[in-house]
Amino acid sequence: DADVTQTPRNRITKTGKRIMLECSQTKGHDRMYWYRQDPGLGLRLIYYSFDVKDINKGEISDGYSVSRQAQAKFSLSLESAIPNQTALYFCATSDPDPARDTQYFGPGTRLTVL
């Protein structure tokens, strides 16, 4: 089984709808992240969490919120989706040891906002 899973894998929704993307991990990592990927812009950090009680904004957090329900679960919400939030969304985890601070990505969720 995959270490980092995301649901749904694809979602089409309409402007103004509330959307939740979910992420689960079995790696036992405390650190979890949400990124969005757009063509030519690489991966941009939306929110990150270093443990269950820690939530931090990334570089593009406007229009998004997150919830860290447990060490293994980190969900991303779009309160009122808009078309420019159409993108590929990735969840990731990492080991807190700086020597092994690599990111383990989930398979991604492709979101389309009409």
Q: Does 56 bind another protein (CB under 8 A)?
A: yes
The residue range among 20-28, 61-69, 74-82, 103-111 that interacts with another protein, by the rule CB under 8 A, is 103-111
DSSP string, 1-37: --SEEEE-SEEEE-TT--EEEEEEE-S--SEEEEEEE
Measured from the CB atom, is 50 or 63 closer to another protein?
50
Measured from the CB atom, is 35 or 64 closer to another protein?
35
Tokens of 54: 């820690």
Which residue has 């992420």 as its token pair?
A: 23
Give the C-alpha separation, 11 to 112, whole Å.
Answer: 6
Among residues 19, 68, 87, 106, which is the contact residue for another protein, using CB under 8 A?
A: 106
Interaction with another protein in 10-39: which residues (CB under 8 A)?
35
Tokens of 8: 């749904």
Residues that bind another protein (CB under 8 A): 35, 40-45, 50, 56, 59, 90, 94, 96, 98-99, 101-108
